[in-house]
Amino acid sequence: MLYKQYRPKEAKRLEIHHTPVHGSWLNIDEIELNAMTRQCLSRRIDTLENLNREQERNTQNRTVNWHFKSGEPREKLKSLYLKFD
C-alpha cells in the first residue's frame, strides 16, 4: 500500500507501528479527547461569568497521574504479556 503512495526509497523508510488497544495511555488519551470535545467544541461561552469560571479552571493545570514508571508494567501486569518457552 505504501508503494502505491510513495516512491520505493521513501516507502522502505516508513514503518507502521501498531499500538496495543489495551494500553492505559490510549484510554487516557481517548478520555481527554472526549472530554475536550464534549466540554469545548460543541458549545459557546455566552457570559463573562462563564468565561471567568473557565479561565480559572484552566489555570489549575490538571495533570494525569501515571501509575507506572518505565519497566514496571511488565512486572505488575505479567498476566497480560505473552509467554515464550
Which residues in 26-49 are b (16+ Cβ under 10 Å) and which e? eeeeeeeeeeeeeeeeeeeeeeee
The reply to whether 38 falls in a domain is yes
| Tally of structural domains, the chain | 1
pLDDT of residue 23: 66
pLDDT beyond 90 at 39: no
The reply to whether 52 falls in a domain is yes
The reply to whether 28 falls in a domain is yes
The reply to whether 44 falls in a domain is yes
The reply to whether 27 falls in a domain is yes
* pTM for this prediction: 0.33
State the residue range of the domain holding 51.
21-62
Q: How far apart are CA 83 and CA 85, in angstroms?
A: 7
The reply to whether 79 falls in a domain is no
**pLDDT band at 63; cut points 50, 70, 90:** confident
The reply to whether 31 falls in a domain is yes
